Structure 1
Amino acid sequence: MTMVLLLAIAIEGRGQDLRFSQWFNSPLTTNPANTGFIPDADYRIGANYRNQWVNIMSVPYKTFSIWGDAQVLRDRIENGWLGVGGVILRDVAGSGNLTSTKVYGSLAYHQMLGYSSLLSAGFNVGWANKRIDPTRLKFPDQFNQATGFFDAGVPTSVFFNSTSTSYMDIQVGVNYAYFPTDKIYLNGGFSVHHINRPKETFFTETNFDNRLSPRYIGFVNASIKMNDMVIINPMAYYTNQATASELVAGLSANYNLSGDGETQLIGGAYYRGGESIIPLIGFQWKNFRMSFTYDVTTSSLSAYNSARGAIEFSLVKHGFYDEYSGNQRQSLCPKF
C-alpha cells in the first residue's frame, strides 16, 4: 500500500514547479511581461501561500512568495512605460525537506497601440537554489519486503555528492491586451521559462540529462462589466514542461457591495483537467484584495487524501503614486 501511495503522489506531482492555483494573483511567476502591466494602478505588491497534501505527507508541500512591481518612465516614453519588479519564492517539499529558494528581478516594456490595445514584452533573471536532507529520505534498497516498510537502519548505496545546488534562471514573455470599451477587457500572454536550461542535480556524474526542460505557459482572460453591480472574469491557463502539462479554466465574478466599488465580494470556480475542482472566494476593500482557494482532488489520488488537495491564500495591494489619484489615472479594464 505504501508503494501504491508513493506512485500516486509521483504521478500527481510531476508538474510541481512552484505552481499556484491562483496564477492570476502571481503575475510575475506566470509571465515576466506582466511586470508593470497593471491595468488599474501604478504599482502593486503581493504575497502567496500554498499548502498541499497536508493529510498524506509527513512534510506537506508548502510554497510561499512575495513580489512587487511598478510602472516607471510614464512621463518619459510616448504612449508607453517600463515595468520593474521582483519576486522571492520558497518551496518545501516532502520528507527530505527538498527546499527551493528563488529570487528574480523583472523588467518589461509596454507600448500602447492606438487607444484600445497594448503590447508588452519582458524578461526576468534570477538565482535559484535547491537543497535536500538525505538523512530524512528512504531509498529502494532500504525497503523490507517482509514488513512492507522502509528500514532507515539499513545502509543505502545512494550517495549524494552535494546536498545543495544553485544556478541562474531566465524567463521571457509577451503579452497583449485589447480594451475596445470601458466594459470589455481581453488579455492573453505566452512565456518560456528556464530558457537557459540550467543544470539541476545533487550528483557529479549521472546517466541523465539534468538540465531543466523549458516550461511553456500560455493564458487568456477577460473582464466583462455586466452592469453596475457585477463584473465577470473568465480565464484559462495552460503549461507544459517535458512530458508534464496542466490546463486550468474557469471564471470568477466581482459583486459591488458598497455601490461605489470600494467594497467587493469575489466568488468563482476553476477546473484543473483530470485533477481537481478549485472553488474561490475573495474580498476586496479599497486597494486590498484577499483571495482563498481550495483544491478539491477529483483524480485517483482522492482515495488517499479524501479529496483534500491544497489550500491557497493570496493578498494583493494596488496603489497610486502621490502625484496621481485614482480618478485621474486611466483604467484599462472595467471597474465600478
Structure 2
Amino acid sequence: MLFAWTAKGQDFHFSQFYASPLNLNPALTGSTELSRFGVNYRKQWPGLSYDFNAYSAYFDHYSYDLKSGFGVLVNSFQEANMQMNTSDISFFYSYNLSLSEDWSFRLGGQAGYARRSARLDNLIFGDQVDLFSRTINQSTIDQIPDFEPYGYLDLGFGALVHNEHLWLGASAYHINRPNLSFFPDNEVGFLPVKWSVHGGFSFPLGTNNYFGSKFDNQITLLFNYKNQNPFQQLDIGAQMLYGNVIGGLGFRGIPGTRNMPNQDSIILLLGVNLPIGMVIGYSYDFMLSEIGSAAQGAHEVSFRYQFLMGDPKSRNQRSRILKCFNFMM
C-alpha cells in the first residue's frame, strides 16, 4: 500500500443513472412534468469478501403554475470492510424557462445534509505484518482514533437544455468541498467537486397496437461523462422501448487514458414500462478488467412510479415533453 499526504474521496455511481435523476442533475427535478417516486439499489463486487451497497429513494413534482420542480432525495452508501456508512438527505428545486415553442432551459439547485460513520477495527497497519511468519499481530503502535459520526452540508447545481427529442445537461455536486477526514482538524481530507456532462437523442420507431392498446416505440442514444479529481468515467449506451419491454446495452470506460486501457464494464439492461406509470429495471455490470472474474461485477435494480397529481382537465396542460425520461434507465 502507498500512503500520500492527502486522501480524496469518490462518489458512488449508478449504472442506471437516468433511473436516479436527482443524483445525476438537479435540473432534472420535475423533468417528466409529472409526480414521480423512485427507489434504486446497487450491489457492487458481490464476489469479494467485502462489497459495497448503495440505496437511494426520491420524490419529485412539477408545478405548472410556478414552472418549477420540487424534489427530495435520500441516499445511503455502505462499505462492508470498515463498516463505513454515509447517509444524506437533499432537497431540490428547478425552474423551467421556455426558450421557444420547442426548446426549454432548466436550472436546478441542491442543498443537503450528510452524515458519516465508520469502524476502524479492521484496519491493518504495517507493524502488524510479520513477513517471515506470514502472520498478522493483534497489536500496533499506531494510534487508532475514536472516530465519532459527524455531518456536513452539501451543495450542488445543474442545467439542462432540451426539446422533445434532444437534450444536453451539466451538473456539479459538492461545490462547497466538504471535509471528509477522520480527524476534524485535518484541512486536506476534502470531497472533490464532481461534475458531469450528459445528453442524448431519442427517435421514434412508430406505434404498434397490442391487445387494443397503443405503444410508442423508440430508441434512445445517451452518454454521461463524469470527473471527480483525479478520476474520470464515460458511460455510453443505447436503450430501446418496444411495447412494454425496455432493453439496453452500455459501455463504461475511457480506452487509452494515460497510455493505459481503462475499459471497466459492459452494462446489460432489461426492464418493463407498465401503462399504469410503473417502470422496473435491472442491470448487470460485466467487468472487463482483470478483477472482474473475482469481483463478479455489479447488480442494480430500479423502480419508479409516475403519476399526474390533480385534474388535468382543470387547466390547459400541454403534452408531456422529454418522454424518454418516463422509461429510460
Task: Identify the TM-score tier after normalising by the shorter chain.
Answer: 0.7 to 0.9
1:291 and 2:276 correspond: no
Deviations 1:35-82 (A, max 9, x none): 1111xx421010000001111133x1000010010012x13x5xxx11
- Give the superposed CA RMSD: 2.2
The within-5 A match list for 1:165-204 is 165-179=150-164, 185-204=165-184
1:210 is aligned, of 178, 189, 192, to 189
Residue 275 of structure 1 is matched in structure 2 by 264
The within-5 A match list for 1:1-336 is 16-38=10-32, 41-58=33-50, 60-72=51-63, 74-75=64-65, 77=66, 81-148=67-134, 150-151=136-137, 153-179=138-164, 185-206=165-186, 209-229=188-208, 230-256=217-243, 264-273=244-253, 274-286=263-275, 287-305=277-295, 308-324=296-312, 329-333=318-322
Distance 1:204 1:84, change over 3 A: closer
Distance 1:333 1:106, change over 3 A: closer
Distance 1:71 1:203, change over 3 A: same
Residue 182 of structure 1 is matched in structure 2 by none
Deviation at 1:141, TM superposition (A): 2.9
- In the alignment, residue 196 of structure 2 is paired with which amino acid? I
Does the 8 Å CA contact 1:289/1:317 hold for their aligned counterparts? Answer: yes
Distance 1:270 1:149, change over 3 A: farther
Q: Distance in 1 between matches of 2:231 and 2:128?
A: 29
- In the alignment, residue 267 of structure 1 is paired with which amino acid? G
Does the 8 Å CA contact 1:100/1:128 hold for their aligned counterparts? Answer: yes
SS of residue in 1 equivalent to 2:46:
coil
- In the alignment, residue 58 of structure 2 is paired with which amino acid? W
Q: Distance in 2 between matches of 1:331 and 1:193?
A: 28
Deviation at 1:203, TM superposition (A): 1.2
Deviation at 1:147, TM superposition (A): 4.5
Q: Distance in 1 between matches of 2:220 and 2:111?
A: 31
Does the 8 Å CA contact 1:161/1:203 hold for their aligned counterparts? Answer: no
Q: Distance in 2 between matches of 1:71 and 1:238?
A: 27
Does the 8 Å CA contact 1:15/1:246 hold for their aligned counterparts? Answer: no
Q: Distance in 2 between matches of 1:311 and 1:169?
A: 28
- In the alignment, residue 49 of structure 2 is paired with which amino acid? M
Deviation at 1:204, TM superposition (A): 4.1
- TM-score, normalisation: structure 1: 0.84
- TM-score, normalisation: structure 2: 0.85
Deviation at 1:237, TM superposition (A): 0.5
Deviation at 1:205, TM superposition (A): 4.8
Q: Distance in 1 between matches of 2:10 and 2:168?
A: 23
Deviation at 1:89, TM superposition (A): 0.2
SS of residue in 2 equivalent to 1:191:
strand
Q: Distance in 2 between matches of 1:333 and 1:56?
A: 40
- In the alignment, residue 220 of structure 1 is paired with which amino acid? G
Q: Distance in 1 between matches of 2:110 and 2:228?
A: 18
* Unpaired segments ≥5 residues, structure 2: 3-7, 209-216, 254-262
Q: Distance in 1 between matches of 2:323 and 2:17?
A: 20
Q: Distance in 2 between matches of 1:301 and 1:69?
A: 38
- In the alignment, residue 125 of structure 2 is paired with which amino acid? F
Does the 8 Å CA contact 2:181/2:188 hold for their aligned counterparts? Answer: no
140-149 or 101-110, which moves further after superposition? 140-149
Distance 1:176 1:163, change over 3 A: same
Deviation at 1:202, TM superposition (A): 1.0
Q: Distance in 1 between matches of 2:266 and 2:135?
A: 33
Deviations 1:17-41 (A, max 9, x none): 1211111111001111111111xx4
Does the 8 Å CA contact 2:168/2:200 hold for their aligned counterparts? Answer: yes
SS of residue in 2 equivalent to 1:102:
strand
Q: Distance in 2 between matches of 1:63 and 1:23?
A: 13
SS of residue in 2 equivalent to 1:105:
strand
SS of residue in 2 equivalent to 1:96:
coil
- Report the count of equivalent residues: 300
